[in-house]
Amino acid sequence: MVGIFVGVTHKPWFDHLASLHPADVNFWQPSGSGEFKALKPGDLFLFKLKAPWNAIAGGGVFEHASLAPLSLAWEAFGEANGNESLGEMRSTIAKLKRVRPLGDREDPVIGCRILTQPFFWPADR
């Protein structure tokens, strides 16, 4: 039996990745505060957009979860993290955590959920 998990995300992350169509994506969480154990490799991870969309908009096949420094996540996935640049990702993390902007030398640990075969449904679906 295949497990299913619904991860809530913000639309800019989704839209950026939908425009790239990468082979793999990093569905990251801004706080690296625990292990993700909800799925096993091969299970389905779905993307639910936050309000006002409130819709399942795509997903991918779960491969692996880990905690990693932001710099390592960026080095491994680049724009497949859902941001155009490392600076933009730092800014997004600070906004989501509701903290001051991250300095260039700060390297917070984030939660990484690696997904293969991502799919992105158009808005009309």
Strands 24-29 and 109-120: antiparallel
In 3-state terms, the chain is what percent helix, strand and coil (to 5)?
Answer: 25, 35, 40
- The answer to whether residue 55 sits within a structural domain is yes
- Contact between residue 114 and residue 65 where contact means Cβ atoms under 8 Å apart: yes
Q: Convert the pLDDT of each residue in 34-56 to its tens digit.
A: 889 999 999 999 999 999 999 99
- The answer to whether residue 32 sits within a structural domain is yes
Looking at residue 105, which CATH number applies to its domain? 2.30.130.30
* Residues facing residue 109 across a β-bridge: 69
Q: Convert the pLDDT of each residue in 46-89 to its tens digit.
A: 999 999 999 999 999 999 999 999 999 999 999 999 999 999 99
- The answer to whether residue 125 sits within a structural domain is no
By three-state DSSP, how is residue 97 classified? Answer: helix
Retrieve residue 79's tokens: 């724009």
Identify the domain containing residue 40 by its residue range. 4-120
- The answer to whether residue 49 sits within a structural domain is yes
- The answer to whether residue 52 sits within a structural domain is yes
Average pLDDT (15-44) is 93
